[in-house]
């Protein structure tokens, strides 16, 4: 059998197709990185008490005053009382260097004592924060083995993104101090550390968006991958309970 013959034009065309495909891949990768930044990294903030939180809403109310709400863990604000605390919102350059931190004052407006959740409201009524998390629906059913991403500020360092998989939703008969026992937590293998508390656990939805599915409440010192996350349905339950106190913020909820 004779070997196929290729002309210079054939080789050039094939090379061009390879370069074109590579260009599309690089463009898609850049687009995905932008999505990761906008939907997971930018909305996760640092609290002054070495904790994390996520921006769930930032928009003008009926009177034109901006309302911005931060979701975090209750134990992160246990000693705050009626006083204000500082929320630091980071900004990064194209080389992923931290170039600024804008500090806002916030007050605790709701606590969920049973399940370690708290809601903060920024004092600033003029600035709209453009990067807000999308909360997964309350009826979300996670599958074991799904990819997950954890975002927070471990041990007070610069914001960190770690990757893991979802492992289970089950009760924990033991746990760190302050963790509710016999309550069904999400567990995932994304690495976390003290300072990640109140931070967000994400998944990627079918439409490609990254949505928050949990809030970090605690970890066990017995070994790796023992982080406990308050599930998204409990987050929605908490926000509904906050209605008599503050009115339900118009949070962005992923649709199905």
Q: Residue 139 falls within a domain, yes or no?
A: no
Q: Is the pLDDT of residue 40 over 80?
A: yes
Q: In the numeric block, which tokens belong to residue 101?
A: 């931190």
Residue 200 belongs to some domain of the structure: yes
- What contacts 188, CB < 8 A, 6 or more positions away? 148, 150, 164, 165, 166, 167, 201, 214, 225, 227, 229
Q: 3-class SS at 13?
A: helix
Q: How confident is the model at residue 24 (pLDDT cuts 50, 70, 90)?
A: very low
Each residue of 131-186: pLDDT tens digit? 999 999 999 999 999 999 999 999 888 899 999 999 999 877 655 555 556 678 89
Counting runs of H as helices and runs of E as strands, what totals does the chain give?
A: 3, 12
pLDDT for 72 equals 95
Query: Which of 141, 111, 124 has the alpha carbon at shortest distance from 238?
Result: 111
Percentage of the chain lying above the pLDDT 90 cut:
46
Parallel, antiparallel, or unpaired: how do β-strands 44-47 and 160-171 relate?
A: unpaired
State the pTM of this model.
Answer: 0.83
Give the confidence band of 222 by pLDDT, cuts at 50, 70, 90.
low
Beta bridge partners of 111: 118
Question: What are the φ/ψ torsions at residue 233 (nearest 5 degrees)?
Answer: -65, -35
| pLDDT confidence bin for 209, thresholds 50/70/90 | very high
206 occurs within a structural domain: yes
Q: What is the pLDDT of residue 114?
A: 79
Q: Which domain holds residue 15?
A: 7-41
Residue 235 confidence (pLDDT) above 60 = yes
Q: Are residues 156 and 211 in the same domain?
A: yes
- Looking at the structure, tell me whether residues 88 and 37 fall in a common domain: no
Structure token pair of residue 164: 């893991």
We report the CATH number of the domain holding residue 122 as 2.40.10.10
pLDDT band at residue 244 using 50, 70 and 90 as cut-offs: very low
Per the structure, the count of domains in the chain is: 3
What's the pLDDT at 11?
A: 47
Is 245 among the domain residues? no
**Domain co-membership, 174 together with 107:** no
* Domain shared by 21 and 70, yes or no: no
Do 19 and 84 lie in one domain? The reply is no
Token couple for 222? 């017995």
Residue 115 lies in a domain: yes
Q: Which residue has the higher pLDDT, 255 or 238?
A: 238
pLDDT on residue 54:
97
Residue 28 has pLDDT above 80, yes or no: no
Residues of the chain with pLDDT > 70, as a percent, come to 77
- The per-residue pLDDT for range 84-138, each reduced to its tens digit, is 899 998 887 777 777 888 999 999 998 887 788 999 999 999 999 989 999 999 9
165-172 long-range contacts (CB < 8 A, ≥24 apart) are 165/189, 166/142, 166/203, 167/225, 168/144, 169/142, 169/231, 172/228
């Amino acid at each position: 059998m004779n070997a196929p013959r290729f002309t210079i034009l054939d080789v050039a065309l094939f090379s061009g197709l390879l370069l074109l495909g590579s260009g599309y891949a690089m463009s898609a990768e850049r687009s995905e990185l932008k999505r990761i930044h906008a939907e997971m990294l930018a909305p996760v903030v640092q609290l002054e008490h070495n904790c994390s939180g996520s921006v769930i809403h930032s928009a003008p109310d009926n009177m034109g005053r901006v309302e911005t709400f931060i979701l975090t863990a209750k134990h992160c604000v246990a000693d705050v009382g009626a006083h204000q605390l500082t929320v630091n919102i980071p900004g990064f350059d194209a080389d992923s260097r931290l170039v600024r931190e804008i500090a806002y004052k916030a007050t605790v407006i709701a606590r969920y004592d049973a399940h370690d959740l708290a809601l903060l409201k920024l004092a600033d009524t003029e600035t709209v924060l453009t990067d807000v998390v999308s909360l997964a629906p309350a009826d979300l059913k996670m599958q074991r083995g799904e990819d997950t991403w954890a975002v927070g500020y471990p041990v007070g360092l610069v914001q960190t993104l770690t990757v893991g998989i979802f492992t289970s939703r089950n009760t924990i008969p033991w746990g760190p101090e302050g963790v509710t026992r016999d309550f069904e937590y999400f567990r995932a293998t994304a690495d976390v550390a003290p300072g990640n508390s109140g931070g967000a656990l994400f998944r990627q939805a079918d439409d490609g968006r990254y949505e928050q599915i949990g809030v970090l409440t605690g970890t066990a010192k017995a070994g790796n991958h023992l982080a406990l996350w308050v599930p998204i349905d409990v987050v929605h339950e908490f926000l509904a309970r906050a209605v008599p106190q503050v009115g339900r913020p118009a949070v962005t909820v992923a649709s199905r």
